[in-house]
Structure 1
Amino acid sequence: MIRKLTASDNVQVMEFLMDEPSLNLFIIGDIESFGYDSDFQELWGDFTLTGNLRGVLLRYYHTFIPYGKEDFDVLGFVDIIKKDPEFKLSGIEKIVEKLEDAIEGNLGRKQVTYFCECTKEQFNGESSELFAVKKAGIDDIDRILELRAGIQEFVPNPHGKEMMVKAMEIGKARTYFIEVNGEMVASVSTTAENSISAMIVGVCTSEKHRKKGYASQVMEKLMADVLEEGKSLCLFYDNPEAGRIYKRLGFKDIGRWTMYR
């Protein structure tokens, strides 16, 4: 049985998600930040006849993230997702695969990435140049988005600015950057920050300033600050060269993540 989740379900939902806390960091983070009653976020739960939770589906704007055990109601989740004509699907590879076969039509561009994690004990930061790294405020968001817009690999999000402002205001996200002669040349952000973890996103360097170690410097500063707060860090990558950099800093692969754009 699938029904909308409410705040009264929170204890059961969190216990269910904590079976794989890092892989569920988006759902956990969005629940902690925005709860169960907002216009841009909804959650559904799939329950057994005895009341045990076996699946959770999150809608954050038009992105849907499913999570479930072996026997969760795939077709029920698909019916909910398809009611949104602009839906995008994202999640743990093995979970998303179950829904792919049941959704008819074009899902968009598929990207499968490695999902990795770093804890304070694994962190290998050693740069002496972190003094040059600055922490962004809301007034810097337009500059951050302008930098990202110049990166070929980045896909612009029409809700990007709104989401960054909202997340930064409530402490769900932060961005660090480096400037050269007043120009923002490299940045990295977190998203989905919650009480136990955070996701690193938006690692970028302007093309004319690459191969100078700027991305590593902003990464190390962000990692040092977040890990010192007792949280773990996660990120996606599909570029082997980037993967080597992340692993040198202490990240280890823990799964694979599928995104449709």
Structure 2
Amino acid sequence: MIYKCDENQREELLNFLYQEPSVNLFAIGDIETYGFEHFDLDVWVYVDSKDKINGVLVRYKDNVMPIHGKVFEGFDTFLPLIQSLTPLYISGSEEVITQYEEEFEQYEKEETYLSECNELKLDAPLIQQVAPLEKEDIAAYLDCLKEIGMKKQQTMEEITDDLERDLNTIQVIKDETGKIISTGRIAVETKLSAMIMAVGTVESYREKGYATAIVATLVNYCTAKNKTACLFYSDPDIGRLYQHLGFEDTHKWIILKSKE
């Protein structure tokens, strides 16, 4: 049986999701941040004959995340619901998304790796150059993201709001002229994990250790709060850099992207 969640199911739902806190970080973060009444978020659960949750479906904006095991009796219930939502993205662990691939052949498949770190294993000499983003530098930060080539960006208003509410931890490095040349941030945070995203350096400053310093700073932030630092990567060369810092691959993460 499937039903839509409200506050009455919060504890049971989060207990289910926290069985894999890093894999389910986005779902947990969305629920803990927005609750069940926000227009951007919907959460459904599939329960077995004993009324025990064994599957969760989360819609956040245009992204849908099915969460369940390799063997899932509710697949035929989740599938038509996902199709009815016509999402732009369907994302999740490889063992889950591979069950849906054949039904979404019109979607492009992107494979990345989920990697985790609890403690740095490598020093970052440039870490002293890293500083938190200030409100007056938000426009320069957005310019930096454009120059790096990051397509999905928050607006100035969203970043301002996040900084005021302490929802995002954005770190930057500036050159001698004050231009932001490297950046990264904590995008989602729960009581056990935090996701590092949007790490990048302006092309003319790459391979100098700036991105390493940014990631090291963010890992230290997580470690100080007793949280596991998580990130995604698809480039093997970048993956080796993260592994030298202390990250270990835990899951393959799949995103199905609509071509429309």
TM-score (norm 1): 0.90
- Who is 2:146 aligned against? 149
Q: Distance in 2 between matches of 1:87 and 1:96?
A: 14
8 A contact 1:223–1:233 mirrored in 2? yes
Cα gap change, 1:52/1:189 in structure 2, threshold over 3 Å: closer, same or farther? same
- Who is 1:208 aligned against? 204
- Who is 2:170 aligned against? 175
- For the pair 1:124 / 2:125, whether they are aligned, the reply is no
Cα gap change, 1:142/1:215 in structure 2, threshold over 3 Å: closer, same or farther? same
Q: After superposition, what is the alpha-carbon deviation per residue over 1:127-159, rounded to whole angstroms, capped at 9, x for unaligned?
A: 24322111014544433332222234x3335x6
- Who is 1:10 aligned against? 10
8 A contact 1:176–1:189 mirrored in 2? yes
Q: Which amino acid aligns with 1:97?
A: T
1:196 to 174, 189, 192: 192
8 A contact 2:118–2:219 mirrored in 1? no
- Who is 1:115 aligned against? 114
Post-superposition offset of 1:168: 4.1
Cα gap change, 1:137/1:97 in structure 2, threshold over 3 Å: closer, same or farther? farther
- For the pair 1:48 / 2:43, whether they are aligned, the reply is no
Q: How many residues align?
A: 255
Cα gap change, 1:85/1:169 in structure 2, threshold over 3 Å: closer, same or farther? farther
Identity across aligned pairs (percent)?
28
Task: Provide the secondary structure at the position in 2 that maps to 1:215.
Answer: helix
8 A contact 2:132–2:172 mirrored in 1? yes
1:221 to 217, 221, 242: 217
Cα gap change, 1:2/1:167 in structure 2, threshold over 3 Å: closer, same or farther? farther
Post-superposition offset of 1:167: 4.4
Q: Distance in 2 between matches of 1:259 and 1:101?
A: 14
Q: Which moved more, 1:71-80 or 1:238-247?
A: 71-80
Q: How does 1:25-40 map to 2 (within 5 A)?
A: 25-40=25-40
8 A contact 2:126–2:209 mirrored in 1? no
- Who is 1:102 aligned against? 103
Q: Which amino acid aligns with 1:134?
A: A
8 A contact 1:41–1:58 mirrored in 2? yes
- Who is 2:230 aligned against? 234
Post-superposition offset of 1:202: 0.7
Q: Any unmatched runs of 5+ in structure 1? A: none
Q: Which amino acid aligns with 2:180?
A: M
Q: Distance in 2 between matches of 1:55 and 1:185?
A: 43
TM-score (norm 2): 0.90
8 A contact 1:172–1:194 mirrored in 2? no
